[in-house]
Amino acid sequence: MHPSSTGPSYLYGTLHSRDQRVFRFHDSVWVAYAACDLVAGELEMGETRRLLPTAMEAMFIPGGRSLDQLYGKREYARLDLALKERLGPLAPLTMRLQPFYTMALLSELELGNDSAEVLDAWWQSKARREGRDVIGLETMEEQLAAVRRIPLRTQARLLLALATDTAHAGSMDEALACYSRADLPGLMKLMERDGLPEHADKALLDERNARMAGRLDERIQQGRRVFATVGAAHLPGPKGLIADLRAMGYRVRAVGVGP
């Protein structure tokens, strides 16, 4: 991204995974990272860890309800079996969680578990060790609020499909394959298959993209050179981060694409 006389900032799409395959960086990534004095993520992970005990309450199904109350008996029996098979001893922890967060857990565990940190957190830990500034482009409450806008019944339907439907098997591997070859149109097609209604996509992507673009702009206008690490799903599309930044007058082009 070329915003001002301070020099370019960089937008790096991540996959929220510990799989070793997402840690393969083109040389140009290191050049871009070295040129920047500020690392920005979706969330600032230090703050996230501090607030997580409090935020957990917001991740629970409202009204003291439990997961089984969102399904008929037969549907829940299928889901319960699938969660036990895929999550093992972690399965009971999902009983009070909103289904969206269980979906996130399943998606992360579908890939490898090679790193102690997901890629986003890894970049921030590296930056702190090297004395760079680290910020979040959103707050945890803003992310929690976006999830709350997805009706529980919609979340429940999507979780059941993700956990039990063979059509969803390997979806994260597909996403990783697209990610590895920097195939943003391919990622867009996968997102279109996720089954989320339009209002949910608006809350989870479009509105968040606009907010993150605005906060990136603020930092860049302050003279900072930013290395922004956000989920690759936020980049493409007519309302993606790339389009939002271009609409704000930034020149955005791909650099160093490839493994």
Q: Provide DSSP, 135-165.
A: EESS-HHHHHHHHHTS-HHHHHHHHHHHHH-
| Contact assessment for residue 227 and residue 237, using Cβ atoms and an 8 Å cutoff | no
Largest Cα span, the chain: 62
The domain tally of the chain equals 1
Instruction: Evaluate whether residue 62 is within a structural domain.
Output: no
What letter represents residue 237's amino acid?
A: G
List pLDDT tens digits, range 189-208: 777 666 565 556 677 888 99
Examine residue 76 and state whether it is found in any structural domain, yes or no. Answer: no
pLDDT, tens digit, 9 for 90 and up, residues 28-85: 999 999 999 999 999 998 888 888 788 888 999 999 999 999 999 999 999 999 999 9
Q: Taking the model in full, what pTM does it have?
A: 0.87
72 belongs to a structural domain = no
Residue 232 lies in a domain: yes
Report CA-CA distances (Å) from 240 to 49, 172, 209, 246, 254. 27, 20, 6, 10, 15
Q: Is residue 220 part of a domain?
A: yes
Mean per-residue pLDDT over the chain, rounded? 88
* Domain extent at residue 139: 10-57+98-150+169-247
Q: What is the pLDDT of residue 30?
A: 95
**Structure token digits, residue 140:** 């945890």
Specify the 3-state DSSP secondary structure of 251: strand
> Per the domain annotation, does 74 fall within a domain?
no
Q: How far apart are CA 130 and CA 38, in angstroms?
A: 11
| Structure-token match 């840690």, residue found | 23
The confidence score (pLDDT) of residue 229 equals 97
Domain assignment present for residue 37? The answer is: yes
Residue 78 is assigned to a structural domain of this protein: no
